[in-house]
Amino acid sequence: MSDTVPKPARGEPGEVILRFSDVHKAFGKNVVYRGLDLEIRRGETLTIIGGSGTGKSVCLKMLIGLLRPDSGSITAFGQEVTSMKERELLEVRKRVAMLFQGGALFDSMTVADNIKYPLREHNWGTEEQMEARVHEVLDLVDMPGIDQRKPSELSGGMKKRVALARTIAVEPEVILYDEPTTGLDPITIRRINGLILRLQERLGVTSVVVTHDMDTVFTVTDRLALVYDKRIAFTGAPEEAEHSEMRFLREFVKGGKGVLEEDLG
């Protein structure tokens, strides 16, 4: 990245950088959250689990202003997100980037232009600098030499990795992963999990992963958060979840592992 593009100070490892406080959210009569409280610490990988339709992805979208809560507070790096205007949210999205479930690649663009899209949106640098960044991030996700291909020419796993390359192109401090392994085969799932771990180590990012895949949970997670009964009902290490007093959590985690072990057996 060019020295002309300044980076914000990253702060101390372990400090709380993202916080939800008493957040309420409903879509009409469908109440998603009733008092969501959650803290995310710098440098950790926090994985959010829960049943289908419990609002796990809604949580991520509220964090970067794609959805607004009905009440409560959401802060990123000490700044209140809920009252931000679009221009202010763009600054947050430089620091907190999201990998969407479907990848959200533009089919009419080449891989290179897909990756350059957020760079251009954030006035990242010159065309030459952006071109160099495309090759750099494709190398990081083990996809060199495909910059002139179109998304239609790629497999599902390859699209996911290109989408991840686009996500990290602007050098975010936090990466939000929305179901990063959905629809992928077991080998590709392990590859994506490995990428999450490698990016955590090489880039020093904070990761928030929404998933129902227990292989991903037990591979990448430092701390686990369970969405249950319209709130965060548990936070702790995955191993703690296996022995929790909360029966639903124990069965959710052990049931997922059991299915995984049976599939791989």
The total of other beta-carbon atoms located within 10 Å of residue 132's CB is: 14
- Checking if the pLDDT of 84 tops 80, the result is yes
The structure tokens listed for 91 are 């600054």
pLDDT of residue 123: 82
The domain over range 16-264 is classified in CATH as 3.40.50.300 = yes
176 close to 64: Cβ distance less than 8 angstroms: yes
Helix axes 186-203, 156-168, angle to 10 degrees: 10
The upper half-sphere exposure of residue 1, i.e. CA atoms within 13 Å in the direction of its Cβ, equals: 13
Instruction: Report the mean per-residue pLDDT for the chain.
Output: 87
**Count of other CB atoms within 10 angstroms of residue 101:** 18
Task: Tell me the backbone φ, ψ of residue 102, rounded to 5 degrees.
Answer: -90, 0
Position 7 scores a pLDDT of 42
What amino acid is encoded at 180 in this protein? P
Lowest model confidence (mean pLDDT) among 18-27, 57-66, 245-254: 245-254
What would the mean pLDDT of 130-151 be, rounded to a whole number?
Answer: 92
pLDDT tens figures, 86-139: 989 988 988 999 998 877 889 889 999 999 998 888 888 889 999 999 999 999
Tell which residue, 149, 127, 111, 138, has the closest CA to residue 2: 127
Every domain of the chain and the residues it spans: 16-264
pLDDT score recorded for residue 53: 84
pLDDT band at 85 (very low <50, low <70, confident <90, very high): very high
The pLDDT score that the predictor gives to residue 255 is: 67
pLDDT tens per residue, range 10-49: 455 589 999 999 999 999 999 999 999 999 999 999 999 9
Structure tokens at 58: 């809604």
Q: What is the 3-state secondary structure (H, E, C) of the chain?
A: CCCCCCCCCCCCCCCEEEEEEEEEEEECCEEEEEEEEEEEECCCEEEEEECCCCCHHHHHHHHCCCCCCCEEEEEECCEECCCCCHHHHHHHHHHEEEECCCCCCCCCCCHHHHHHHHHHHCCCCCHHHHHHHHHHHHHHCCCCCCCCCCHHHCCHHHHHHHHHHHHHCCCCCEEEEECCCCCCCHHHHHHHHHHHHHHHHHHCCEEEEECCCHHHHHHHCCEEEEEECCEEEEEECHHHHHCCCCHHHHHHHHHHHHHHHHHHC
Contacts of 65 (CB under 8 A, 6+ apart): 81, 84, 86, 89, 92, 93
Q: What percent of the chain has pLDDT over 90?
A: 55
The sign of the CA dihedral 184, 189, 224, 64 is negative
Share of the chain above pLDDT 70, in %: 91
